[in-house]
Amino acid sequence: MAQVFTKSMARNIFYGGSMFFFLLFLVLTFDTINTLPKRDNRAALTPVVVQGKLLWEENDCIGCHTLLGEGAYFAPELGNVYTRYGNSLDAIKGFIMSRPKDGIPGRRSMPQFNFSDAELDALAEFLKYASEIDTAGWPPNIQG
């Protein structure tokens, strides 16, 4: 870093480089948004699924689980739980319903949320919707 490379050159690389790559990022984002309708299963976004997403958020499910690999690593991946449970909405609902209120001695256990039937439906439909997003083949196998 002798005199040939001056501070103002470094500054210009910073401003020019950051601007250029941010603009490129915007272009790629724009293209992504245009491509998403083919991948993101938006046709399945019914009011029930939307309600399920809100329930997913308002009960902080992401605080223990991952969804498409993002979240906490304390409990199983749920992006593909619908397929893991044999494409069964009832199996998902049954699991959520049957959690013991005081947990299981010595083991991790999901809390009992006391959801209504409509809420259970919404959550299960949301997880079904999530499982049908095109995730480029992830996860590697059914275990998530």
Partner 1 sequence: MTYQSQAVAKPYFIAAIALFVAQILFGLIMGLQYVIGDFLFPEIPFNVARMVHTNTLIVWLLFGFMGASYFLVPEEAETELYSPLLAKVMFWVFLVAAAVTVAGYLLVPYATLAEFTMNEKFPTMGREFLEQPTIIKVGIVIVALAFLFNIGMTVLKGRKTVVNLVLLLGLLGLAVFFLFAFYVPENLVLDKFFWWWVVHLWVEGVWELILGAILAYVLIKVTGVDREVIEKWLYVIIAMALISGIIGTGHHFFWIGAPEYWQWWGSIFSALEPLPFFMMTVFAFNMVNRRRRNHPNKVATLWALGTAVMAFLGAGVWGFLHTLAPINFYTHGTQLTAAHGHMAFYGAYVMIVLTIISYAMPLLRGRTAANSNKSQVLEMWSFWLMTVSMVFITLFLTGAGILQIFLQRVSDDPQPFMAVQEQISIFYWMREIAGVVFLIGLVLYLLSFFVGNREPEAVVEVRG
Other C-beta atoms within 10 Å of 100: how many?
11
Rounded CA-CA distance 118/111 in Å is 19
Q: How far is the CB of 51 from partner 1 (least distance, A)?
A: 10
**In the bound complex, what is the minimum distance in angstroms from residue 90's beta carbon to partner 1?**
20
CB of 66 to partner 1, least distance (A): 4
Contact between 121 and 93 under an 8 Å Cβ cutoff? The reply is: yes
Least Å distance between CB 70 and partner 1? 7
| Residues 72 and 63: beta-carbon distance below 8 Å | yes
Identity of the residue, 86 or 137, whose beta carbon is nearer to partner 1 in the bound complex? 137
Q: Which residue reads 């609902």 in tokens? A: 93
C-beta closer to partner 1: residue 80 or 93: 80
Can you list the alpha helix ranges (DSSP code H) found in the chain? 7-35, 47-58, 81-84, 89-97, 117-131
Residue closer to partner 1 by CB (options 62, 89) is 62
Which is closer to partner 1, CB of 53 or CB of 93?
53
